[in-house]
Structure formats: structure tokens, C-alpha cells
Amino acid sequence: MASQGLTDEEVSAVCKEGHPMTQDYMMQQTTLRVKDPARSLNFYTGILGMTLLQKIDFPAMSFTLYFLGYEDKANIPEEKLERTAWTFSRHGLIELLHNWGAQKDKDLKYHHGNKAPLGFGHIGISVPNLAEACSYFEKCGVTFVKKAYAGKTKNLAFIQDPDGYWIEILNPKNIFLDLYCVLLRSKDKNKRIVNS
């Protein structure tokens, strides 16, 4: 049987106040390697509704970066240098990295981290209505790893992008109740919890 994770006291002991110089740091991007940029761009823009903020080619190194996020297109600067600075000042972007020619390699498959060896887990997308979002994803033919309301956690779903990366879909108003119910169930397996 696995041991318990860190106690609240252990967490408090190891988490420190950041150095004052870090007060303006932010989580800016997560990079995902993609095999076919056309499929990935269609998925992240057409299905997930993100906006392509910037595309940057690196011919000397034979790769392209695509930066996507939930931003209003009207706010994207047109001038290239200003657009670059603006893009790198956004919070929580997805950076798709395409190595040129990867789409021609029929054997190439990127490791998503959810099978051995375990590593990267998933990104998360917050939606206002989980049931509607999942219904829409089903109509779009998106692959589900876990459907909403299935399994131990009811108020979230996991889908996959074209390269197999997992994406958690959740509603922030319902996620706490779900996590709380799982916590209560794990303490008393015989106890019935509402919505469990």
C-alpha cells in the first residue's frame, strides 16, 4: 500500500515565501511537441476555441512555434516586435512546437506522460458548463480518456489532443465539491456522499 502524501505541516515546512524579485514572475507557457501542426492548430482553435497569438519560424533549426491562448483577437498588436512582447506577457499559453518534417514520419509518436514511464500529466481547461462542453466535444469526434460523471471523480473529464496529450476539462464551480466528495469517500468507504 502506498504511503500518504505530505501532511499539511510538511507542506507548510517546505513551501517558502518567494524572493521579492520573483513577485512579478508568472506562468507564461507550456510547450507541447506536435507531429502535424495543421491538425493541432485546428483542434486548439476550432475545437477548444483558443486564439493563435503568434507563429515564429526558426529556419536555421527547422522548427516553428505556435502560441495559443484565450485572448481577444482585437487586442493582438499587428507590429511584429510589439506582438512578440505582448505574446510573451500573456498568462498560461500553450506553445506548440513543430519540428519540420515530423508529419511525414509515420512512426513518430510523442509520449504524453500518462503511461510508463510516467511524466507530464495534462493541461487543464476551465469551462462554464461541463455537460455542454463534453457534448460538443463528442459531436466534434474528440477522443475521451474519461467522460464527465464517470469514475470516482464526477465533475471533470479528460480528452486527448491529436498527439495524445491529455486535457482536463472542468467547471471551477463544481470541482471543489467533487474533490471534497472523493476525499470523504477515501476516509470512509461506506459513507454515501451526495452526487457521488
Residue ranges of the annotated binding site for Zn(2+) are 29, 95, 122, 168
Residue 168 known to be catalytic: yes
Decide: residue 70, CB within 10 A, 0-12 exposed, 13-18 middle, 19+ buried: middle
**HSE of 58 in the Cβ direction (CA atoms, 13 Å)?**
10
164, 175 contact by CB (below 8 A): no
Q: Of residues 10, 78, 82, 168, which has the active-site annotation?
A: 168
Residue type, 193: I
Residue 87 has a CB neighbour count (10 Å cut-off) of 22
Helix (H) or strand (E) holding 132: helix 130-139
> How many Å separate Cα 101 from the centre of its chain?
25
Could you tell me which residues are annotated as the binding site? 29, 95, 122, 168
Q: In sequence order, what are the beta bridge partners of 66?
A: 55, 96
Catalytic residues: 168
